[in-house]
Structure 1
Amino acid sequence: MLCFSSAVESLRIANRMAGETLYEWRLVGEGGDFITCSAGTSFKLDDDLCELSRDDTVLVCGGIDVGKATTKKILNWLRREARRGVTMGGLCTAGYTLAKAGLLDGKKATIHWENQDSFAEEFEEVTLTKSVFVVDGNRMTTAGGTSSIDLMLKIIADDHGEALAGTVADQLIYTSIRTDQDTQRLSVPTRIGVRHPKLSRVIQMMEANIEDPISPSNLAREVGMSTRQLERLFRRYLNRSPKRYYMELRLQKARNLLMQTDMSVINVALACGFASPSHFSKCYRAQYSTTPYRERGAQAARLSV
């Protein structure tokens, strides 16, 4: 709901501040009846998946279980309208829907950080970034949440000038307008609550090397310290060893892939640096009290409800 309302409110306020109707919008969807978001709020659709004009812009809004919501009818409609030259955008997880329709092939794009791992595995032909939003030709994607505001402010500024965009931002009490150069997640020091440059650098290397893990000794060497010093640093600030922290990162990615993709358990294991499926299963059970196969089965059961 946040990414949806942020987009609509930005356009509404632009109209109000300009004193004229600069933007109009319709809420359309499969069936043309009602749509309910995960917070339980329902919206009356203005229309079914109707025929558009070339000057229209489609903004697809996605939330949890976006794969289930991405139906064949929606994919065919998006492809048809894209052939007319309609500008397409995906808010939050809806970048997945655009990519599934083949509309982001050869393009730069972004998606909510929680879906980045699965997106990168499934859509190799898309250049995935960690930006809050991306505009590449007539394709737009956002990371979700308030990043819809940033995208709308860019559109407003491009269409009607920076002054109006700034006025809209003031009305939204939005004091720091982000660009496509800003990343969607907090910096490592802010995220872990520790401002130690060498520790931050090691964690960044870990996050960038999940499929081919780097040994603690090599990590220590990269930041100019001994393995024992690195061990003490992790114990002091994170109350765990570098090996344990690295394992948790790899298992977290594995869980994302199991929940969000159709990748086999073996391929998930390989993508997260586990050469042996049995070792992967053992580590996964120790972390999450269930096996990867049961996790996948439980997820499938939830989606079928």
Structure 2
Amino acid sequence: MGDNVRQASRSFDSRMRHSNQAYLQGGAPHDAHPPICRRIGFVLLEHFSMMAFTGAVDALVTANLVSRQPLYRFETYSLEGATVRSDLGINISVDAELPALDAKDLDILIICGGFRSNLEPRRPVVDKLREVARRQAILGSLWNGSYLLAHAGLLDGYTCTVHPDSRAGLEELRPQVRLLPNPFVIDRDRISSAGANSALGMMLAVIRHHHGDEMVRGIEEILACDRTLDDLPDSPMPTLVDDPTFPDALQTILQLMKNNIEEPLSIEELALRARISRRRIDRLFQRHLDTTPSRYYLETRLTRARRLLQQTNEPITSIAIACGFTSAPHFSRCYREFFGVSPSQVSARHRRG
């Protein structure tokens, strides 16, 4: 299959961009202005859930990595003192005590509770939470942090969620709050997560609202290594755009492409195997992926090559052949056209560690 690199605009233009966004050199052509960097504060209660906290922070940090420009900065606060003990018995140093928080340009404040956290806030804490609310920042909670927001009357008329162990107490404390048994809930400018595992999902939903599906797909691919073996060098190429709503014919073509990386099929061969016309393939890719089949296939192979360069010590010539390129020089030209760096530069960085 011919590789029409001249179609490239030094950037991935199909939905596969999310898989490569962190590795593209320079900003996207349409990024005329730097993105807004949102400020997020985490209030760590004594015995807070370390897993919930790190899940939420991991989403933010990974968003910055995928973007290559800072989208989020976070700060940590205690109710009192320079350190807070987590539920794992690990002391975490914080940036400041909550009463000292300057809420002037704060975008989100999240209360991170835990199974043994004290949920009876003192007056200065309630006053600070109300001040943050008056400045129209988003207020959120992890585990049972909703309890403190409810104490301050900041969840009246909202829906939220809380850890099941705190549900009965919150219902009794504040019947004006509508509790849902969901893993996480987003209701206007209130966000809440009921446990450790759902904290990541909640933050991904927030990031999706700010930056769209493409950004979240990029984050999920980096963080999903414990759910799939697709990223291992000797495994098949992952289907980066799996979508059950795609027509069967398109899913068949995508599967054929995924299974034929080393010896790419021509578009005519793909059409023959899928028993559809070449013209219909073109229409399917344009309608559902906003690209051409040749372009998508090339992007698939280059994405595979990027992974092999980063994860193995194989020679560039071997990687080129494994990804269906007829020669190392041809592969290098294609790779540089899309990523802005040569395969040898990527390989050298990998070997230096």
Question: What are the equivalent positions in structure 2 for 1:18-57 lying under 5 Å apart?
Answer: 18-49=67-98, 50-57=101-108
Once the two structures are superposed, the pairs formed by residues 1-305 of structure 1 within 5 Å of their partners are 1-49=50-98, 50-68=101-119, 70-173=121-224
Whether contact under 8 Å (1:106, 1:127) holds in the other structure is yes
Task: Give me the whole-angstrom Cα distance separating, in 2, the residues matched to 1:3 and 1:140.
Answer: 14
Structure with more of its chain in helix, by fraction? 1
Contact 1:87 1:138 in 2 (8 A): yes
Rg bigger for which structure? 2
Secondary structure of 1:20 counterpart: coil
Cα deviation per residue 1:1-27 (whole Å; 9 max; x = unaligned)?
A: 111000001100110111111110001
Aligned mates of 2:117, 2:89 — CA distance in 1:
16
Q: Which runs of 5+ in 2 are unaligned?
A: 1-49, 229-353
Structure 1 pair 60–81 and aligned structure 2 pair: CA distance change class (3 A): same
Aligned positions, number: 176
Write the distance in 2 (CA, Å) between the matches of 1:113 and 1:103. Answer: 20
Q: CA deviation at 1:175?
A: 5.5
**2: CA distance, partners of 1:32 / 1:138:** 29
TM score, norm. by length of structure 1 = 0.55
Segment drifting more, 41-50 vs 3-12: 41-50
Higher mean displacement: 94-103 or 44-53: 44-53
Query: In structure 1, what residue type is equivalent to 2:108?
Result: T
The 3-state SS of whatever aligns with 1:59 is: strand
- Mapped contact 1:90–1:140 kept (Cα < 8 A): yes
Helix, strand or coil at the partner of 1:124:
coil
Name the amino acid aligned to 1:31: E
User: Deviation of residue 114 (structure 1)?
Assistant: 2.0
Query: 1:58: how far off?
Result: 0.2
Structure 1, unaligned stretches of length 5 or more? 177-305
CA RMSD of aligned residues (A): 1.8
Q: CA deviation at 1:43?
A: 1.0
Q: Distance in 2 between matches of 1:40 and 1:69?
A: 21
TM norm structure 2: 0.47
Asked which structure has the greater RCO (Cα within 8 Å, sep 6+), the reply is 2
Letter in 1 for 2:90: T
2: CA distance between counterparts of 1:29 and 1:18?
A: 30
